[in-house]
Structure 1
Amino acid sequence: MADKILLSTYVITVEEKKVPLNLDKLYEDENFIELFESFSMNIMKDPFIPKSKGIFTDKSLTVPSAEILNNRLPFNIDASNNAIYGYFQAGTGGDNFDIMNNSTNVREFSVNSNKHISTKNVFYYLQVPPNSTEGFLVLQKIKNFGIKTDLNNALQIRLKDKLPKGVLVKLHNRVPYDLYKEMIQYGTLKKVEFIKNTVPANMKDFIANNQHARRVKGTMTHTMKMRGGFTSEWLKDAADILRGNNTKNHRIDFDEENAYFDEATFEIELDGKKKTFHTINKNKIQPSVDVTGDVEFDKNKQPTIESLIKVSQELIQDIINLKPKNV
């Protein structure tokens, strides 16, 4: 099964004595989009290495080269929308392992933790509305791999010398709660998916629904639809899960032995518009929006940047402007 294309939303502010500043015109007439471009150039030349308890980690945050992006620029400014978009390259290391040919089981490369790191390119789109104290940031999330914490730390450290003393850049979670709260309150739940990242070891245990059976790595998806939409009780349960309630041990737990799932997806429709909310590690209150069905893919089965930009713009506008007709 192809990976879902997940986007999460955040807000960036620049604050002086806890008072948010106008991002259109900061100090010396520099706006925040220009400042973010300067930040991107900084970590491209000098990758940011996060620390944990004062010790450098085996992670890094930088900007991918044009070569890695098939000669596409790693970041671009869209002046007409006062926006910047592109990719961050996030890396993790620390392990020695072999990369094998899946067809022949022959080793093709050996990873040395002292020389190599595993990297992922993470799409982002940042827009600052006119005369606003908030910038809206959309970040791609790949499964349970995200860069929000490292990006926040990098912004704090690398922009410190570019702003007056006492002025701080802050990256806030903007859970699309207002968006899905309104959609849940006034919309219709159209489809529910629960996903387990393991499957029964044999078909007999699956058919017998043996909850104590041995499980192996795999993906099992339970998809449910109801004519006319699900009942209000289903909507309430969906809201609880998206808010992080009813969770134990990083999973959705239904208070019955082994009756749990690792991921959940809810498709909700309001005023003809559909949004699909996806959550992983249910102790976290930051659900993502599943846009897999809304983006286009290239020949390498990767989402095109043009379609990612489009859905990011729509998501930002939905969060800012969505007002149900019957409110």
Structure 2
Amino acid sequence: MINLSIYRFTLLNKAKEQQVLSFFNEEEDLLDTMNDFCSHIHKNTKSYTDVQGKYRTFSLANNQIKDVEKRIITGYFDSGYTGEYGQIKDGKTSNLKYDILKGDLFSKDFFYLIHVPKNSKYGFFIFQKKENHGVKMIFENAFNSFMRLKGVSNYFLQLKQAPARYLINNFLKFGKLKEFRLIDGTIQSAIETLNVNLGREERVIKLNSSTNNQSVKNVLVELFDNFSSQDKIPFMNQGAYDEITFVIGHNGVSKTFYIKDKEKIRTSFNVTSMLEFEDGEATFESLIRISLELINSAA
């Protein structure tokens, strides 16, 4: 299974103003800066310790490819981490080749594509998602560290999820509603003298799989498509809420949708059926092609 995650990025100054990516800092093109960054991490592996105490590394598996005409940079990341025990065995005989020890780096390569449009304040970052190998935070942190290293400390990169609309549409159109949540904001204590903020209230409605929930789903999808104000969200004469989320299952995958805060929608999608394969591996060319299609959908 090949999953791709898509993010939209901006470059902000200290006042948090978005910059034109192809002409920031009065003269620099972020496409060239990103290319320099990729060359840097290829030669200087980024190492860090995650919240679980595992030692991790982040680098490039090979030299990046810069396409000036398409304004993209592509290649494969190399991500590794320690803390796993295991064995490598021969696929035909099951004979042991060698042991994986706790201090060994368990490393994987995975595809990425960076797109820096001309005269735009938004760029796109797509990477192949693999279990136990996060990219978003380390990429963001490593790039911002690189900018400080080169003496540009007044700009920083910010990544946010960018759902590809046509893949989301498949969930909304063909998926089955599994549950939804009606969320109210902070609740104050009924005892005035305490003045305690008790958090928020959530009503969770889990739906019976054997029940036809199409009418409820239609209402939620309508709200998702059309509601964008900062007011409370009215829902089926049941009151108004600060946020409503709902879970839809499609092709064995469940995805949570947010009616107001759409940037929280996880943007990892199974694109296996859209790719071409050679010797069981997705071709580099087809990964680029589908990535550009995802960008066109999310732009």
What TM-score range do you get, normalising by the shorter chain? 0.5 to 0.7
| Mean Cα deviation higher: 156-165 or 279-288 | 279-288
Alignment of 1:250-289 (within 5 A): 264-265=249-250, 278-279=253-254, 285-289=265-269
Deviations 1:172-197 (A, max 9, x none): 22244x6566x37xx973467x9xxx
RMSD: 3.7
Structure 1 pair 239/110, CA: closer, same or farther in 2 (3 Å)? Answer: farther
Q: Does 1:101 align with 2:90?
A: yes
> Is residue 111 of structure 2 the alignment partner of residue 123 of structure 1?
yes
Shift of 1:110: 1.3
**Which residue, 156, 159, 173 being the options, matches 1:189?**
173
Number of the residue aligned with 1:62 = 59
Q: How far apart, CA to CA, are the structure 2 residues paired with 1:232 and 1:138?
A: 35
CA separation of 1:174/1:147 partners in 2, compared to 1, >3 Å: closer, same or farther? same
Q: Work out the CA distance in 1 between the residues paired with 2:100 and 2:255.
A: 28
Q: What letter corresponds to residue 82 of structure 1 in structure 2?
A: R
Q: Deviations over 1:250-292 (max 9, x none)?
A: xx9xxxxxxxxxxx545xxxxxxxxxx9557999741322211
Comparing 31-40 and 55-64, the one that deviates more: 55-64
How much identity, in percent, do the aligned residues show? 24
Distance in 1 of aligned mates of 2:133 and 2:269: 15
Q: Residue 172 in 1 paired to residue 160 in 2?
A: yes
TM-score by length of 2: 0.68
- Cross-structure match for 1:13: 10
CA distance in 1, matches of 2:244, 2:67: 35
For structure 2, the 5+ residue unaligned runs are 179-212, 224-242, 259-263
Measured against aligned partners, the alpha-carbon deviations of 1:224-250 in whole angstroms (never above 9, x if no partner) come to: xxxxxx94655678999xx99467xxx
After TM superposition, give the deviation of residue 29 of structure 1 in Å: 2.7
Residue in 2 aligned with 1:50? Answer: 48
2:50/2:56 contact within 8 Å kept: no
Structure 1 gaps of 5+ residues are: 66-73, 195-229, 253-263, 267-276, 321-327
Query: Which of the residues 118, 134, 138 maps onto 2:126?
Result: 138
In structure 2, the CA distance between the partners of 1:120 and 1:239, relative to structure 1 (3 Å rule), is farther
When residues 27 and 278 of structure 1 are mapped into structure 2, their CA distance, relative to the original with a 3 A threshold, is farther
Distance 1:236 1:129 in 2: 36
Q: Distance in 1 between matches of 2:157 and 2:35?
A: 14
Contact 2:147 2:153 in 1 (8 A): no
Q: CA deviation at 1:52?
A: 4.4
Q: How many residues align?
A: 241
| Whole-angstrom distance in 2 between the partners of 1:287 and 1:279 | 12
CA contact (8 A) 2:39 2:64 kept: no
CA distance in 1: counterparts of 2:219 and 2:76, whole angstroms: 36
Quote how far apart the aligned CAs of 1:91 are.
Answer: 0.8
Following TM superposition, the consecutive aligned residue runs of length 4 or more in structure 1 with deviations greater than 3 angstroms are 101-105, 143-146, 178-181, 230-240, 243-247, 277-285
